[in-house]
Structure 1
Amino acid sequence: MYHTYFFMKKNLSLVLLFGLIITICGSTCAQTLPVNSGIPPYHILTTDSVYFTPANLKKNKPVMVIYFMPDCGHCQHLMYDLKPELPKLKDVQIVMITYTPMLKALQVFQRDFELAKYHNITIGTEGYTYLVQKFYHVQTTPYIAIYNKYGKLVQAYDKVPKIPVLMETMKKV
């Protein structure tokens, strides 16, 4: 009888371990979104202390969502590289979202990269809701999602793409 109990306990442990591995892999490996995923239902506070949602986006225009952190070196590098290309993206609505609640940090980021002069760029924080972060399963910043004029996901980058690759994707939307 003890032998049967030990055998069942050992098998149960293996089943539980296998289930745990499947759960962890399923949650960490699921980085891609279905192609028909729409724009997340964000609610951000902008650098002007105004709330901005997808309802504020202009219809029939492509959208680039960049999930970033103002003090992230990769995010800053992306902006240094992207800045010369921004005039070419004037017809793309760029929404930059972070979770940091410090508007001052966002304002400094906006000032340092002279983003206020681009009327197609909106910068804001989702605060501690993490809605957008959870929507995209963001593990690292910056995270970039590109939508066509119909609001359908065209491409998502969980790592910084080369700027020519990003610009080529933007030509397709």
Structure 2
Amino acid sequence: MIKALKILAVFILIFAIIQTARIYCNGSTIPNYKYRGIDGAYHSKNDLPKTPVIFVYFSPDCGFCEKAIPELKNLHKKTSYINFVFITNQKFEKMVIDFIESNKLTELTNAILIDEKDSFPVDFGLGMVYSTPTFLLYNKNGNFVKKITDYKEIKSIKI
């Protein structure tokens, strides 16, 4: 029994180390990704302009995601050079159009992507625990700047 517990403890430790490494290794620059846009075309890192970018991982049924939109629009008015990329899970695809229209997301971006394989959390180094909305900020060189999970912190963004 003690041997089994030791093996389990080692497994948990190794798993924790791997998850931590994923977060810090994947989070240093914009990773290579390929997601389908609501326009039907596939988009990748190569499609981004050389400007700061904020990836917004959202869910159309998330109240906090909806509350974040006015904050993002205010930020956009102050810093129009920031590029916004919205990404949601495929299971919400049918709800996305209503969310886009009701929140007038096209005022912020046309880059609204569908994560068909539910790979965004791994691709962007979020590990196993993440929430919506999650905002990932990268500077104009594609280097990671900051992760925000509380939409109220959007006011403090400086890139």
Matched residue SS, 1:90? coil
Distance 1:161 1:113, change over 3 A: closer
Question: Percent identity at matched positions?
Answer: 26
- Kept in 2: contact 1:69–1:100 (CA 8 A): no
* Equivalent in 68, 75, 82 of residue 78 of structure 1: 68
1:66–1:144: 8 Å Cα contact kept in structure 2?
yes
Q: In the alignment, what sits opposite 1:154?
A: 145
Secondary structure at 1:33 match in 2? helix
Read off the aligned partner of 1:46 and give its amino acid letter. G
Instruction: From 83, 86, 99, give the equivalent of 1:93.
Output: 83
3-state secondary structure, aligned to 2:111: strand
In the alignment, which residue of structure 2 is the partner of 1:130?
118
Q: How far apart are the structure 2 equivalents of 1:144 and 1:81?
A: 12
**Structure 2 gap segments, 5+ residues each:** none
Ranges in structure 1 where 5+ consecutive residues have no aligned partner: 1-9
User: Which digits, 9 at most, give the CA deviation of each residue in 1:12-49, with x for residues without a partner?
Assistant: 12312322442454466678435971112222222222
Q: Does 1:144 align with 2:144?
A: no
My pick for the range that moved more, 48-57 or 13-22, is: 13-22
Contact 2:90–2:118 (8 Å) recurs in 1: no
Aligned-pair RMSD on alpha carbons? Answer: 2.6
* Range with bigger deviation, 31-40 or 88-97: 31-40
SS at the partner of 1:162? helix
Q: Quick one: structure 1 residues 73 and 24, their matched pair in 2 at CA, closer, same or farther if it must change by over 3 Å?
A: farther
Aligned match of 1:41: 32
1:107-129 Cα distance to aligned partner (Å, 9 max, x none): 111111111133x45111021x2
How many Å separate the matches in 1 of 2:16 and 2:144?
24
Give the 3-state SS of the residue equivalent to 2:24 in structure 1. Answer: coil
Taking structure 1 as reference, are residues 80 and 74 closer, same or farther at Cα in structure 2, changes over 3 Å only? Answer: same
Give the greater-gyration-radius structure (CA).
Answer: 1
Q: Which has the higher contact order (CA 8 A, sep 6+)?
A: 2
Relative to the length of structure 1, the TM-score reads 0.75
Scaled by the length of structure 2, the TM-score of the pair is 0.81
**1:168 corresponds to which of 150, 156, 159:** 156
Matches of 2:27 and 2:88, distance apart in 1: 24
